[in-house]
């Protein structure tokens, strides 16, 4: 059974659980997750930021740091 959402969004407790689980999994694989990135995830999950805007920012940053061969596909 799914939990009810507020205004079509995930409840804050679910958002925090998703962020915690995702960060744990990535950190277990050796990635460093800065607090700013977790805040961006929170904004997307709460409907405050469009995921396409977030991904565009990630791709621009990757290209700036020499990962220009990644085309996002």
pLDDT digit string, tens, across residues 8-47: 678 889 999 999 999 999 999 999 999 999 999 999 999 9
Q: How far is Cα 8 from Cα 70, in angstroms, rounded to an integer?
A: 34
Token match 């939990």: residue? Answer: 3
* Backbone conformation region of residue 18, classed left if phi is above 0, alpha if psi is from -120 to 50, else beta: alpha
49 confidence band (pLDDT: 50, 70, 90): very high
Alpha-carbon distances, residue 53 vs 16, 27, 56, 72 (angstroms): 21, 24, 5, 13
pLDDT at residue number 8: 60
pTM: 0.70
- Pair 28, 39: CB distance under 8 Å: no
């Amino acid at each position: 059974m799914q939990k009810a959402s507020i205004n079509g969004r995930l409840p804050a407790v679910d958002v925090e659980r998703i962020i915690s689980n995702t960060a744990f999994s990535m950190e277990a694989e050796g990635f460093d997750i800065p607090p700013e990135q977790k805040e961006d995830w929170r904004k997307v999950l709460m409907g405050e930021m469009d995921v396409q805007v977030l991904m565009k920012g990630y791709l621009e940053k990757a290209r700036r740091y020499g990962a220009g061969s990644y085309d996002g596909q």
